[in-house]
Structure 1
Amino acid sequence: MRITKCQLVAASLCVMLLGLSIATLSTVTRYGLHFSIISNIAPESSSYRDIHHAAFYVGVFLSMTLILAALLSAVATVRESRCLTATAFFCFALAFCGMIPALCWRYMHSTEVEDSMLDVYDLVYEEVRRNGSSSKRHELTLIHEIFLCCGKHSPLGDTAAVEHKMCHPGTEQTAGRDCLQEMHGFLKKHMGFVSTLLGITIGFTVAVPVPVCSWPHRGLVS
């Protein structure tokens, strides 16, 4: 029994680390330069801002729920408390019910985040291309600096002048890097990490509560 308790406490600590990882990832998604620059320049009609804010708040909710569940589970394991076990189980179930829709949304709407981000870039790029003195010029330059890219390829072949003016001086190594491709690659890696983290966390939310609820607690046996 003592070995089982130690294993469950260790598993609860792993869940707590996963909760902290989700909190960190949510913070990076909300305040990271790659995401915040797009959110700041996105028009009110863009769906990117809604997705950006929703991802942050959902991530914070899941992380706080997981951390609370892990703490309650660890204490319930040590004290063999029936009340704490029930509360921890409820928190695990709440986190599980939150992560399943999030993971499903990730796969059913896999291109929605990317499309909304690329649409924002296209809007800024085209406005600068049509009007070189546009207020969006500085914002486009910032995007090029952050994503280490330079304009986008066009079948019309009329973007060379824009790229020459909008690429930040001293970033010759970014010449020829299509910003749309760079954004696609960045989001693919980020979303892949999100999927992996959610998948691992879902496994722990199922594995940890079951053995905790299986043993007799104090006050239930003589």
Structure 2
Amino acid sequence: MGQRCSWVQATKCQLLVTSLFGMLLGLSVAILTTITYYEKHFIVISEVLLETNPMRTFLNLVLYAGICLSSLLTIAAILSVIGTWRDLESAMAVGFLCFAVVFCASVQAAYWAITNGTEAEDTMMDVYDLVYEDVRNNSSNNRRQELLNIHETFLCCGKKLQFEEERNIENETCQSEITGTANEDCLQAIHNILKKHMRFVSIVMIITTIIMVYGMILTSFLCFSIHFNNSLDRKDKYVLTG
């Protein structure tokens, strides 16, 4: 019996530490979501005036998903702490459920990254190509200003094409200091920015998956342990009736 109690106490300590990491992870997800939503490279693409700008829809989806994921991580951590501190089976069960939901969301996000990992990059490139072609076809000054804003934000200059007509467009929409220092075109710059950003997202998702699996193991063990103890307590109580 004493050995079993020591196992339970050790599991509780591990769950408290896991819950602390869960709270920090929820804060990290919230910060990463905020950075993504207000990142200047994404904003300049989402602000391009289109009938339906897919980048704006993508950013809104990221914001809602990030808020939900961060909230679930925080709730799971808080419930786990409460369940551990007060031996509440219901709190432990709900904490397990939150860990499981976040785990499923992490797996789904990883699957999306593997199968559709270039969707955001393709969307940004499509928007840039549309603006570039509109300027090439002598579009309005608004389009020209949008292209100039993209070049200034990404520190790039047009596309590496061999036609003089396109080179004239770049001369008109690139600042002289950018033209002299940029070694890559805007499509390559978009690729590099997304690659760097997705590296951080992948790291956070991997850590989230590991912590969620560990949290589910600990909460399920403690949930059954609390239930077993409650059952023993009820068996030890006798009521005498006359």
Specify whether residues 211 and 221 from structure 1 end up closer, same or farther in structure 2 by C-alpha distance, changes over 3 A only: farther
Contact persistence 1:42–1:49 (CA under 8 A): no
Specify whether residues 221 and 212 from structure 1 end up closer, same or farther in structure 2 by C-alpha distance, changes over 3 A only: farther
Specify whether residues 125 and 56 from structure 1 end up closer, same or farther in structure 2 by C-alpha distance, changes over 3 A only: same
Q: TM-score of the superposition, structure 2-length normalised?
A: 0.83
Distance (whole Å) between structure 1 residues aligned to residue 127 and residue 89 of structure 2: 52
The one-letter code sitting in structure 1 at the alignment partner of 2:184 is R
Larger Rg: 2
Q: Do structure 1's residue 68 and structure 2's residue 79 form an aligned pair?
A: no
Give the secondary-structure state (helix, strand or coil) at the position aligned to 1:159: helix
Correspondent of 2:13 among 6, 10, 13: 6
How many residues are treated as equivalent by the alignment? 222
Between the aligned residues of both structures, percent identity stands at: 42
Q: Do structure 1's residue 209 and structure 2's residue 216 form an aligned pair?
A: yes
Q: Residue in 2 aligned with 1:49?
A: 56
Correspondent of 2:192 among 151, 171, 185: 185
Residues 37-68 of structure 1 deviation map (CA, whole Å, 9 limit, x = unaligned): 11111523443333222122112111111111
The one-letter code sitting in structure 2 at the alignment partner of 1:40 is E
- Which structure 2 residues correspond to residues 22-171 of structure 1 after superposition, within 5 A? 22-41=29-48, 43-131=50-138, 133-171=140-178
Distance (whole Å) between structure 1 residues aligned to residue 114 and residue 172 of structure 2: 38
Contact persistence 1:150–1:174 (CA under 8 A): no
Contact persistence 2:83–2:89 (CA under 8 A): yes
Contact persistence 1:46–1:116 (CA under 8 A): no
The one-letter code sitting in structure 1 at the alignment partner of 2:198 is M
Give the secondary-structure state (helix, strand or coil) at the position aligned to 1:208: helix
Distance (whole Å) between structure 1 residues aligned to residue 84 and residue 198 of structure 2: 34
In structure 2, the gaps of 5 or more residues are 1-5, 234-242
Greater helix content: 2
Residues 144-177 of structure 1 deviation map (CA, whole Å, 9 limit, x = unaligned): 1111111111143532211111113443554343
Shift of 1:181: 0.2
Further displaced range: 40-49 or 62-71: 40-49
Distance (whole Å) between structure 2 residues aligned to residue 13 and residue 90 of structure 1: 18
Distance (whole Å) between structure 1 residues aligned to residue 118 and residue 100 of structure 2: 29
Instruction: Please tell me the root mean square deviation across aligned C-alpha atoms, in Å.
Output: 2.0
Residues 112-153 of structure 1 deviation map (CA, whole Å, 9 limit, x = unaligned): 111110010111111112216531111111111111111111
Further displaced range: 122-131 or 155-164: 155-164
Shift of 1:23: 1.3
Q: TM-score of the superposition, structure 1-length normalised?
A: 0.90
Contact persistence 1:16–1:66 (CA under 8 A): yes
In structure 1, the gaps of 5 or more residues are none
Contact persistence 1:42–1:48 (CA under 8 A): no
Q: Residue in 1 aligned with 2:239?
A: none
Contact persistence 1:68–1:91 (CA under 8 A): yes
